[in-house]
Amino acid sequence: MRGGPLRLIAIAGGVMMGGIMTLSFATSVSIQAFQAVLEAKKRKTAPPCAVCEGRGLMDCRLCHGNSIIKWMPPTGQATSVPCLCPTCDGKRVQRCLNCAGRGYA
């Protein structure tokens, strides 16, 4: 017997780990497929979100769709500096907070 009992243990461990990894992958794929089917059924039957009217997006609450906010530095100066909105990154819209961007309640 070449390699002795250590080689046999290593091979058995490799086979077991391969089986566990394969089972884990198959379980993960089947759970994701099941969740996708449930999500599609919900989308068909659920009423549209009242806040975003089913779009999944709404005007940014911080900049009100302007993409720029006026920021006053904490240095005590009386001037305000325009800067890009940190909430929407200048895109003027954000995911609906009511439906989390799904479009239905």
pLDDT of residue 3: 67
CA distance linking residue 62 with residue 99, whole number of Å:
18
More confident residue, 76 or 42: 42
CA distance linking residue 33 with residue 17, whole number of Å:
24
Please report where in the chains the tokens 């990894």 appear, as a residue: 21
CA distance linking residue 90 with residue 86, whole number of Å:
8
How many residues does this entry show for the chain? 105
On whether the pTM is more than 0.75, the answer is no
For residue range 18-34, list pLDDT tens digits in order: 889 999 999 999 999 99
For residue range 44-103, list pLDDT tens digits in order: 888 999 999 989 999 999 999 899 998 887 776 777 788 899 999 999 999 999 999 988
Residue 76 has which token pair? 């005590």
